[in-house]
Structure 1
């Protein structure tokens, strides 16, 4: 649904149009841009509060910088809607996150203004530094390089690695710290408290207001003034704050904190910073959800609320008279609390996603046994391994695509040491509108190659509960992974008594004579629907829910090989090295002579869209399964009736 932009915004197609305006009109631009984001997101969905919080900063950056020549990198990209609207995509912004529409994140192939593709946190400083060093090498000394990073993203080790490197490079780099005390959930940890100390220090803010203007005048006195200013500034900051400034200890010039919603002051400061060489950090204090009262009040709820009435704030839901199946994440959250009440060794760990994975349920019920460690996946894994080394049973919940960031820790700190960490991988498979940076495509492939690792996937809520129950019953000789998708399951009556599942044991869903369908995880429900329609059409496939990609159910597979000369494997993950590949390898090792067809995510980048749309595109939705079965059954050779 298209929404009309305001009178001034409708005339801004690119930042060059914005720069033609007198600075006294920028506040009006901000008001129209904020309202346009509210109008579009309310009817089309998307990330909301983060974008409202950086409206003034976005306008100021494109007003002061000569983008795209000057390079602007947004960390994560949740907050880049205003950037997209101002850089040639206003008229297609209504397609944001919709299948075949524009991406919800900055994307290099989409626009020259999107200098670096993002989606995961804490990459912006590294990328912008690489760009700055490249520009310096090419002699482009006038080129500006800006990384906009939130205080939540600053908790990741990668951000500090980049700061540490940038401090010794004399590159033209500006890091803007967008400090709103939030990622998706409220920020945690010592860094949050440190930034709060700075931003609320009355002494420091008096220093900023009263002394900075004097220093600027000193800088005009001569060629040696720059070094004098740096020494005076460093001395006064250290005295007033009564502690070393973290960023200045990394050899950054630190400026701020300033009000990130004062557009006129932002413009003035950014203009000044353009002329200061070397690595700089500007600390902006903003309010996530700024300008929409409900979003300011409950920033987690309004991070990505879905469709809503912009006047009343009512979030629209698809109501049904029938009871609805729960989200897998909520099954995880409630089940973990049940198990923790039964087993006092169970702990919960997540890297900054307590509401996204529903660990917040345990954090509320058992706050001393559940940990949000910030955006720090590597730390989350090794912290969990440390807990396990002392006899505890950590359930470490990390989104599948985020687990990619901690592969080494899984291998080195958990698997090699045979520590019983339970990895619960939310958002496994097609993640939907967040697109390729968030699809959980690779976890089956990269986990099943790790020694001592169990790789499992439930087909429904009951199986998720039972796999979680099984994982904590005893030490299985190493880590135990359980992957499940974003969204709802299929069972309304899901809170059933726990039952142990034998590790490596699959189950038969339905019998048949024509062909064997082997599935792993929730996507097996598409096969169930396909088998029902195939039976009605006179085809008789058998369906097996394997439950484990590692170890495989060898006895079941050998009996399948003996009975069926054609097999289809189905997985909501990459086809290269995944579940189907595991079946092929086992078949080759056991001299299976039949045909095996694999359905799954192809060896390509899968763009954004609804799960059902992308299952269809990748060829493993219900219709694709039906077509694959019919094609194989019709094409198979007729067995001889003689002998």
Structure 2
């Protein structure tokens, strides 16, 4: 289906999807003929495009997995057979076919279904995902679990070529092909390769070879020949000949070396190839590896031509495609970082920029174009990214690691052992700090303050707005120890950013509003709702800027001159900035009432960012109400007689 092809969607006429509407579970599609499965694929792709265009969400990756999803649920007995979707941003067709077609209208919305697999959402979501490279480990655990329980169930991991760059995937492959005392698992790894085009070898001949190599005849003949030749001088020659001959046909030598039987590559949009190959592999014993080639955005020309921009679009008209905004929106924190990175690289040729496969998301496109020799995308390998930065710092360079808060968690040991322990000057530009809205708990940057401030030698900055973010990055860069600058997703309040590379006074906050009785210590972008609340409370507000080193002089002055302290942060309360304030007050022997406001000790689900912050009591009204509930009416509204 091209973006011009489905006239019903363009004109608003009802779109007929009779076959799709008859599928309420995978059991409904298993009796379908191959011809019916192809019709179902067209209807599913049409529905997917229409649905995501109304809600926003991941599009390109899901358009590319329509046929693969249909084939998996047609061949395997799900949910008894386990299918694990790596990352999970390509699982929308899976959700639609497993009883959640109507619920797609609530995708990523508060109270609606998640954009990723969730065990609590459906029995067909066998493993919750959101981060990459976990599927093979999980499926391997499921395969061995079935073996130990004596259950004849299959485990399938579907992993993309990007996720396969993660070291964890190779750790799982290394384990999966090793028998040991437990024996070899009966599992299938499917590599969904959507980075390469479907070249001529991926056609009729390759389909035949894939079916041949996945079938019983090939396996029996191969093992029979080995048994006959095993004790002869010809055995090693035959083994090498098989490996080299197969290597000329398929690029799977590395997976064979891990102990997996490699099959493919095959066309991931060709059900006549997918179905029989999966049927053969379903009955194969031991670890199997199937390489399928798909195209991101398949079936929608605009997404095929621009899979990056259509990776996670907001709402749009499928007949028109994505439009550029009529007016320039407010600058995002990510854009501030991207411009700062280029400006600082221009000023200092020691700067090296590093990203773990998030060039666009982290705002590094221009940096790569302007400074290609100092740009490193290390793939989905956060641990390597951190230690690689440490190695650069050892040579006198100034590495800047642009990384999401939730992904920095994956490189925590390296942050402690390889960077902080050696006190190396690595800057961590921690994007997506705090709640992220529609992507939910798997991507929320709720924990970085807590897990960073406890590390010796590490400093943590929390700028309040766009201009302060640029100054904080400059301040961090000019230190000779590791520093993290955390900032949220999306736009700031619209504070103009100056071109200078000026610094913040190191370790110093500032009073932004002078009031009475209550002093609010705000960390990060919650300064602005705190200021709004303070107007009604007549409270003092301090923009703390630094979580570590904490401006203890400012904090002590406010604690001694006010009746109570309130801390506000968009991170988890346990171990957060409020805890740092309490610890400092305790060290100085000050017994002043303290109210800590932040994210509760629970996983916050997906939904509109503003609504989620309000539910957590972190908007202006929520801050005001929490202060009133704890400390009573503000002093400014108490009448002289009552006082």
Q: Give the TM-score normalised by the residue count of structure 1.
A: 0.91
Q: Residue 165 of structure 1 corresponds to which residue in structure 2?
A: 175
Counting only pairs closer than 5 Å after superposition, residues 330-349 of structure 1 correspond to structure 2 as 330-349=335-354
Q: Residue 180 of structure 1 corresponds to which residue in structure 2?
A: 194
Corresponding position: 1:596 with 2:604: no
Q: CA deviation at 1:212?
A: 5.7
Mean Cα deviation higher: 598-607 or 491-500 = 491-500
Q: CA deviation at 1:235?
A: 3.8
Match among 68, 72, 76 for residue 79 of structure 2: 68
Match among 499, 502, 506 for residue 499 of structure 1: 502
Query: Aligned with 2:369: secondary structure?
Result: helix
Gap change, CA 1:274 and 1:345, over 3 Å in 2? same
Cα separation, 2, equivalents of 1:560 and 1:132: 59
Query: Aligned with 2:58: secondary structure?
Result: coil
Cα separation, 1, equivalents of 2:517 and 2:186: 66
Q: Residue 531 of structure 2 corresponds to which residue in structure 1?
A: 528
Q: Is the 8 A contact 1:204 1:237 kept in 2?
A: no
Q: CA deviation at 1:633?
A: 4.0
Cα separation, 1, equivalents of 2:468 and 2:556: 24
Query: Aligned with 2:571: secondary structure?
Result: strand
Cα separation, 1, equivalents of 2:135 and 2:282: 19
Q: Is the 8 A contact 1:219 1:225 kept in 2?
A: no
Q: CA deviation at 1:565?
A: 2.0
Q: Specify every segment of 5 or more residues in structure 2 that has no aligned partner in the other structure, as ranges.
A: 1-11
Query: Aligned with 2:17: secondary structure?
Result: coil
Corresponding position: 1:465 with 2:470: yes
Cα separation, 1, equivalents of 2:304 and 2:67: 16
Cα separation, 2, equivalents of 1:452 and 1:548: 14
Q: CA deviation at 1:509?
A: 0.9
Q: CA deviation at 1:223?
A: 11
Q: Residue 415 of structure 1 corresponds to which residue in structure 2?
A: 420
**Offset from partner CA, 1:91-149 (integer Å, 9 cap, x none):** 11110101110111000000000000000000000000000000000001x21100000
Q: CA deviation at 1:575?
A: 0.5
Gap change, CA 1:214 and 1:310, over 3 Å in 2? closer
**Offset from partner CA, 1:213-242 (integer Å, 9 cap, x none):** 388474597896496699979743523536
Corresponding position: 1:144 with 2:142: no
Query: Aligned with 1:409: secondary structure?
Result: helix
Q: Residue 565 of structure 2 corresponds to which residue in structure 1?
A: 567
Mean Cα deviation higher: 241-250 or 462-471 = 241-250
Q: Is the 8 A contact 1:520 1:570 kept in 2?
A: yes
Cα separation, 2, equivalents of 1:228 and 1:101: 57
Q: Is the 8 A contact 1:435 1:609 kept in 2?
A: yes
Counting only pairs closer than 5 Å after superposition, residues 23-34 of structure 1 correspond to structure 2 as 23-34=34-45
Q: Residue 584 of structure 2 corresponds to which residue in structure 1?
A: 586
Q: Is the 8 A contact 2:337 2:470 kept in 1?
A: yes
Cα separation, 2, equivalents of 1:316 and 1:363: 23
Q: Is the 8 A contact 1:329 1:486 kept in 2?
A: yes
Cα separation, 1, equivalents of 2:576 and 2:315: 35
Query: Aligned with 1:523: secondary structure?
Result: helix
Q: Residue 261 of structure 1 corresponds to which residue in structure 2?
A: 269
Q: Residue 456 of structure 1 corresponds to which residue in structure 2?
A: 461
Q: Residue 550 of structure 1 corresponds to which residue in structure 2?
A: 548
Q: Is the 8 A contact 2:538 2:634 kept in 1?
A: no
**Offset from partner CA, 1:327-378 (integer Å, 9 cap, x none):** 1101100111011111111110000000001111200111111111100000
Gap change, CA 1:465 and 1:443, over 3 Å in 2? same
Match among 580, 603, 606 for residue 604 of structure 2: 606
Q: Residue 185 of structure 1 corresponds to which residue in structure 2?
A: none
Q: Residue 239 of structure 1 corresponds to which residue in structure 2?
A: 245
Counting only pairs closer than 5 Å after superposition, residues 45-60 of structure 1 correspond to structure 2 as 45-60=56-71
Q: Residue 187 of structure 1 corresponds to which residue in structure 2?
A: none
Q: CA deviation at 1:514?
A: 2.3
Q: Residue 627 of structure 1 corresponds to which residue in structure 2?
A: 625
Gap change, CA 1:214 and 1:68, over 3 Å in 2? closer
Cα separation, 1, equivalents of 2:531 and 2:148: 59
Gap change, CA 1:5 and 1:154, over 3 Å in 2? farther
Q: Is the 8 A contact 1:324 1:492 kept in 2?
A: no
Gap change, CA 1:492 and 1:4, over 3 Å in 2? farther
- What is the RMSD computed on CA atoms of the aligned residues? 2.7
Cα separation, 2, equivalents of 1:451 and 1:129: 37
Cα separation, 2, equivalents of 1:561 and 1:499: 30
Cα separation, 2, equivalents of 1:5 and 1:249: 48
Gap change, CA 1:26 and 1:235, over 3 Å in 2? farther
Q: Is the 8 A contact 1:309 1:316 kept in 2?
A: no
Cα separation, 1, equivalents of 2:112 and 2:225: 49
Counting only pairs closer than 5 Å after superposition, residues 291-440 of structure 1 correspond to structure 2 as 291-315=299-323, 317=325, 324-440=329-445
Query: Aligned with 1:491: secondary structure?
Result: coil
Q: CA deviation at 1:558?
A: 1.1
Corresponding position: 1:124 with 2:135: yes
**Offset from partner CA, 1:475-531 (integer Å, 9 cap, x none):** 1xx210000000001125213423221221111111111200011111212112222
Q: Specify every segment of 5 or more residues in structure 1 that has no aligned partner in the other structure, as ranges.
A: 182-194
Cα separation, 1, equivalents of 2:202 and 2:78: 36
Q: Residue 188 of structure 1 corresponds to which residue in structure 2?
A: none
Cα separation, 1, equivalents of 2:225 and 2:99: 39
Gap change, CA 1:474 and 1:91, over 3 Å in 2? closer
Gap change, CA 1:590 and 1:461, over 3 Å in 2? same
Q: Is the 8 A contact 2:213 2:263 kept in 1?
A: no
Q: Residue 511 of structure 2 corresponds to which residue in structure 1?
A: 508
Q: Is the 8 A contact 2:214 2:277 kept in 1?
A: no
Gap change, CA 1:592 and 1:206, over 3 Å in 2? same
